[in-house]
């Protein structure tokens, strides 16, 4: 992941450009760790660095103001690390997902399932995904559907993780990314449905030949957000697949969409192509 920084003309404030959508549109300002803790995991993580006075989340940037007398030379690495950790974790920028139900409110049978899930995550799944930078933790369990918080390479292993958990715990009907628990009304519009049909009927059958798949993550205004998975994640030709294939096809086919943005964490994918290159 490549995070750029930009001066703002104000010595106390620095702009960070993570090279991907932050809010997509609009701005949200957080003036304290308490305010951030209620609404934004990303802002809360930045406040946790210390000596941060304000965090502004923008469409594709994060502005951070430090308290008077603080020194950027000691804080900048911490903010970069917080941004990196957040985006690699796959956690949402805004905490729109309902918090997991407190365990004490679970009935006895469900509590036992959740305890088994956590044990399997710790003993079987974490050792398998962590060496490659992946992370998988329990989020919530409802009506047989288990939601996991997935980060890094673990996102592309959801299917295998789900198979293992269902094998050991038959009560689990489905395993999903906790991101799916976030309300995304943009996906329930006719435009989103048309994009999904295009992905299902034309695009994904083609990219499946390379072991890849493309997911529609959200539609906000006239922008479609997609994620490349499987063999597409980290592929050196992913930009060609996106710009010359996916975007071109969507823009030509779906009225009202003017841009397609890739939110894939390509850094944690295996590039199937990289090989010699002259300097």
Partner 1 sequence: MARLLLLIPTASYRTHDFIAAADRLGVEVVVGSDQASVLASVNGGATVEVDFDDAETSAARIAALGAFDAVVPVDGGGVAVAAAAAARLGLAQNTPDAVASARNKYSFRQKMAAAGLPCPDFRLVPLDADPGQVAREVAFPCVLKPLSLAMSRGVIRADGHNSFVQAFHRVADIIARPDANTPGLAADHLLVESYVEGREYAVEGLIHDGRLELLAVFDKPDPLDGPYFEETIYVAPADISKARREAIQHTAAAAATALGLVAGPTHIDLRVGPDETVTILEVDARSIGGRCGRSLRFGEGLRLEDVILRQAAGLPIPSFAQAGAGGVMMIPIPASGSLRGVTGVRAAEAVDLIAEVSITIPVGDDVEMLPEGSRYLGFVIAHGESPAAVVAALREAYAHLKFDIA
Q: Determine if 237 is a binding residue for partner 1 (CB under 8 A).
A: yes
Q: Determine if 222 is a binding residue for partner 1 (CB under 8 A).
A: no
DSSP state for residue 275 in the 8-state scheme: -
Euclidean distance between CA atoms 41 and 82, whole angstroms = 10
Shortest Cβ 232–partner 1 spacing (Å) = 8
Cβ closer to partner 1: 117 or 238? 238
Dig out the tokens for 183 from the structure.
């309300």
Dig out the tokens for 110 from the structure.
């469900």
Q: Determine if 209 is a binding residue for partner 1 (CB under 8 A).
A: yes
Q: Determine if 31 is a binding residue for partner 1 (CB under 8 A).
A: no
Question: CA–CA distance from 211 to each of 156, 214, 228, 231, 273 (Å)?
Answer: 11, 11, 11, 5, 14
Q: Determine if 215 is a binding residue for partner 1 (CB under 8 A).
A: no
Among 142, 193, 240, 256, the residue binding partner 1 under the rule CB under 8 A is 240
Cβ closer to partner 1: 116 or 130? 130
Q: Determine if 196 is a binding residue for partner 1 (CB under 8 A).
A: no
Shortest Cβ 207–partner 1 spacing (Å) = 5
Q: Are 27 and 15 in contact (CB under 8 A)?
A: no
Residues 137-166 that bind partner 1 (CB under 8 A): none
Euclidean distance between CA atoms 196 and 179, whole angstroms = 17
Shortest Cβ 227–partner 1 spacing (Å) = 16
Tell me the per-residue interface mask from 71 to 110 with partner 1, x by CB under 8 A, - otherwise.
--x--xx--xx--x--------------------------
Q: Determine if 56 is a binding residue for partner 1 (CB under 8 A).
A: no
Q: Determine if 276 is a binding residue for partner 1 (CB under 8 A).
A: yes
Question: CA–CA distance from 95 to each of 6, 67, 270, 272 (Å)?
Answer: 27, 25, 30, 35
- Closest by Cα among 150, 149, 240, 226 to 187: 226
Q: Determine if 246 is a binding residue for partner 1 (CB under 8 A).
A: yes
DSSP states of 185-248 as a string?
A: GGGGSHHHHHHHHHIIIIIHHHHGGGTEEEEEEEEETTEEEEEEEETTTT-TTHHHIIIIIIIH
Q: Determine if 20 is a binding residue for partner 1 (CB under 8 A).
A: no
Among 50, 119, 239, 256, the residue binding partner 1 under the rule CB under 8 A is 239
For the chain, the farthest-separated pair of C-alpha atoms sits apart, in whole angstroms, at 62
**Cα 93 to chain centroid, rounded:** 8
Cβ closer to partner 1: 255 or 277? 277
Euclidean distance between CA atoms 217 and 233, whole angstroms = 15
Q: Determine if 48 is a binding residue for partner 1 (CB under 8 A).
A: no
Q: Which residues bind partner 1 (CB under 8 A)?
A: 2-4, 73, 76-77, 80-81, 84, 131-132, 202-203, 206-207, 209-210, 212, 236-241, 243-246, 248-249, 252, 267, 270-271, 273-279
């Amino acid at each position: 992941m490549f995070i750029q920084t930009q001066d703002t003309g104000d010595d106390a404030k620095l702009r960070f450009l993570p090279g991907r959508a932050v809010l997509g549109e609009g701005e949200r300002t957080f003036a304290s760790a308490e305010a951030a803790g209620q609404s934004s995991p990303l802002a809360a993580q930045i406040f946790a660095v210390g000596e941060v006075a304000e965090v502004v989340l923008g469409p594709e940037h994060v502005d951070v103001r430090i308290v008077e007398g603080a020194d950027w030379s000691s804080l900048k690495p911490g903010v970069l690390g917080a941004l990196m950790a957040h985006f690699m974790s796959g956690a949402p920028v805004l905490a729109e997902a309902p918090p997991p139900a407190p365990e004490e409110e679970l009935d006895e049978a469900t509590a036992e399932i959740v305890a088994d899930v956590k044990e399997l995550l710790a003993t079987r799944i974490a050792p398998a995904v962590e060496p490659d930078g992946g992370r998988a933790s329990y989020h919530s369990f409802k009506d047989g559907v288990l939601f996991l918080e997935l980060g890094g390479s673990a996102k592309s292993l959801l299917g295998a993780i789900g198979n293992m958990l269902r094998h050991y715990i038959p009560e689990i009907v489905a395993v999903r990314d906790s991101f799916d628990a976030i309300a995304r009304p943009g996906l329930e519009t006719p435009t989103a449905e048309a994009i999904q049909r295009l992905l299902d009927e034309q695009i994904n059958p083609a990219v499946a030949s390379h072991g890849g798949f493309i997911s529609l993550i959200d539609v906000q205004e006239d922008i479609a957000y997609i994620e490349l998975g499987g063999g597409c994640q980290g592929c050196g030709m992913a930009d060609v697949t996106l710009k010359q294939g996916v975007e071109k096809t969507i823009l030509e086919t779906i009225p009202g969409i003017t841009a397609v943005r890739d939110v894939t964490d390509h850094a944690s994918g295996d590039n199937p192509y990289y090989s010699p290159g002259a300097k």
